[in-house]
Structure 1
Amino acid sequence: MMMGTEMLRGIRPQTTAGSRNAFVTLVTNADYAMGAVALARSIRLTGSPADIVVLFTGGVEASALQPLEALGCRLVEVDHLPLSHAFNLRHGRGNLHANAPFTKGRKPSFHSPLDNFCKLRLWQLIDYATCVFIDADAIVLKNIDKLFDYPEFSAAPNVYESLADFHRLNSGVFVAKPSLATFGAMLKQLDEPDVFWRRTDQTFLETFFPDWHGLPVFMNMLQYVWFNLPELWDWKEIGVLHYQYEKPWEADHPKAALLKPLIDLWQAYHSGVGVPDIATLANPVPAAAA
């Protein structure tokens, strides 16, 4: 196992930390950089003093990162994890989606499953006491700094179709304590012979932290709740809105008509123009009441 400074390989911060806590996201291409702009602006609007850290891979052009720098984000370049060739083959887009197909929504063409594992480099950010990871396809609707007081490992359930999903976590939002010892243990368990993580980092984290602490569903409200479980939706309670599957910046995606109010909201945060008072937004109407 790597030790000491070797455990810090694969990450290259461009600036120093400005806080003991950080919101962290991952950007692997221009599309997710676009998403991260909306996310960073949404966090800034909550008045949080925490750093906003953007982990980015070599697949991101410097021009796509400039808006994030302008928003005061701390940029940290990261390499893909040092995983075996066999692991990478099993978890490549074609093999993974063939062996663990998505049937409830459409993954966009720019989604690359192997990129997901770069999230684990968060545990190398040891200049922070606590990090709250948020996927770049999400926005924060109110101050959620209380999450920095939650234990490792905390995550919200993967609820988007039925309440039966409460037993599974969704790794789009989680609370973690950076530690090189934890990172080393993760690398060892991640690449065991013939292992297959059906939902990449999500399945791995659920296995690595079997006693994960549940966050309220409102801390990672998945967009499909809007039409699948409208009675669960309450704008006044939602801390993080997560655009799982189809992305709000995609033109005419299959769920665009159903999700138009959510797409319009994301567009406002991305542009910084016309961001509404969330408390004034109308909740979806359950089918029985429509």
Structure 2
Amino acid sequence: MRPARPAGGPFAYVTLVTNADFALGAKALLRSLRLTGTPADLCVLHTGGVPEASLAPLADLGARLVEVDLLRLSDAFNAAHARDRLHGVAPFTKGEKPAFHTPLDNFCKLRLWQLDYERVVFLDADTLVLKPIDRLFHYPEFCAAPNVYESLADFHRMNSGVFTARPHPETYHRMLARLDAPGAFWRRTDQTFLQEWFPDWHGLPVFDNMLQYVWLNLPALWDWSAIRVLHFQYEKPWQDHPKADRLRPLIELWRAYERGADVPDPTTLPGPTP
């Protein structure tokens, strides 16, 4: 852990950036957090794969940059979770993972348990915070929303794009021992691991991690006035992709945050077409 500066307090919002694309996402996320008026630290874990030019805007937004190494995992683990092998064994059939997605990078989320904060809220770099969520710092470890984007069956699985945690080095070391146990295979990388590590995870409302596919698949669940965190799972708003036209209001909202200007009130935006 190589932080650029000391922690600014006991609470922090944390995200992970492993390449220039996710740094672009993090810029919009940090701006959205700033607009909520939170006094918590904004912390960006980043790996060596992120160019300095991509990190500079994050520092300009007041983020505490913490450089981390990739986890030291066995050759067998790395082979089992390499992109082609993982997607071959556990293909994504509902959406498209972007070309810059590297599954092994996801496990770097576990580094947050090494941080020098009392409590953190983790947010994927492809999220936006539309309403204050500081209440989550007072929630227990481990809280996450269900992975709802297609049907009621999704409630059986959690989504690791937003969660609460209490950093502690002992937790981190125990996690690493379990993560890379002989024969271990985590079908959905960090998400599968965290759900097994915290089998009694506390469920957050879906509005604390509203997945963009709800707009497409469950339009009756969409409510701009209730959504606190919007999560662009699968296709990213800064990419051209086949679903872009159908997701246009969400993408335009993300672009406004990324620009840092003319951010609309989400409650004035149109809803999905049933």
CA distance in 2, matches of 1:254, 1:123: 37
Question: Which residue, out of 231, 239, 251, partners 1:263?
Answer: 251
- List gaps (5 residues or longer) in structure 2: none
Residues 1:98 and 2:88 aligned together? yes
Residues 1:149 and 2:168 aligned together? no
Structure 2 counterpart of 1:45, which letter? L
The answer to whether the 8 A contact 2:5-2:64 is kept is: yes
The answer to whether the 8 A contact 2:249-2:269 is kept is: no
Q: How many residues align?
A: 274
CA distance in 1, matches of 2:198, 2:82: 24
Q: TM-score, normalised by structure 2?
A: 0.99
The answer to whether the 8 A contact 1:231-1:285 is kept is: no
Q: Which residue of 2 aligns with 1:78?
A: 68
Q: Which residue of 1 aligns with 2:102?
A: 112
CA distance in 2, matches of 1:190, 1:227: 34
Question: Which residue, out of 172, 188, 193, partners 1:183?
Answer: 172
Residues 1:217 and 2:206 aligned together? yes
1:285, CA displacement in angstroms?
3.1
Question: Which residue, out of 29, 32, 48, partners 2:38?
Answer: 48
CA distance in 1, matches of 2:119, 2:269: 32
- Structure 1 residue matching 2:76: 3-state secondary structure: helix
CA RMSD of aligned residues (A): 0.7
1:229, CA displacement in angstroms?
0.4
Question: Which residue, out of 114, 121, 126, partners 1:132?
Answer: 121
Question: Which residue, out of 235, 247, 261, partners 1:273?
Answer: 261
Residues 1:19 and 2:25 aligned together? no
Question: Which residue, out of 72, 77, 83, partners 1:87?
Answer: 77
Equivalent pairs: percent with the same residue?
A: 68
Structure 2 counterpart of 1:133, which letter? F
Q: Which residue of 1 aligns with 2:226?
A: 237
Q: TM-score, normalised by structure 1?
A: 0.93
1:20, CA displacement in angstroms?
1.0
1:282, CA displacement in angstroms?
2.3
> For 1:157-212, what per-residue CA distance to the aligned partner results, in whole angstroms no more than 9, with x for missing partners?
00001121011000000000001111011001000101110000000000000000
Deviates more, 1:21-30 or 1:11-20: 11-20
CA distance in 2, matches of 1:19, 1:283: 38
